[in-house]
Amino acid sequence: MKTVHDYLNDPRITGEPDLMAGPEEIRTIHAIRLKQQDETEGMSFKEKAFRHQEKTDAMFAALGLPLPEYVNLSGQGKLQVKAALGA
């Protein structure tokens, strides 16, 4: 599995002059995003959500924090826009 450091040398980053001229932190963020995209390519939304939840649980456990409670809001329909107060 490629590391973030490997992605920093990826042509998708090194081939962008504006990105290479910017701060290293921005390149690192782009490398992390490319890594996540490549690792989750072809996964369904549910598979991605499960993977994210597993990684979050592992991070909380490593920090000695209680695991977060997850809320599933799917299937509740579209959000309704309310008129602003005083409008």
Cβ 51 vs Cβ 40: under 8 Å: yes
| pTM of the complete model beyond 0.75 | no
Summarised one tens digit per residue, pLDDT across range 30-83 is 999 999 999 999 999 889 989 999 999 999 999 999 999 888 777 677 767 777
| Per-residue model confidence (pLDDT) at position 79 | 67
**Phi, psi of 48, rounded to the nearest 5 degrees:** -65, -45
**What's residue 28's pLDDT?**
96
pLDDT beyond 90 at 3:
yes
Of the pLDDT bands very low, low, confident and very high (cuts 50, 70, 90), residue 26 is very high
Domain ranges of the chain: 4-62
Q: What are phi and psi of 24, to 5 degrees?
A: -60, -35
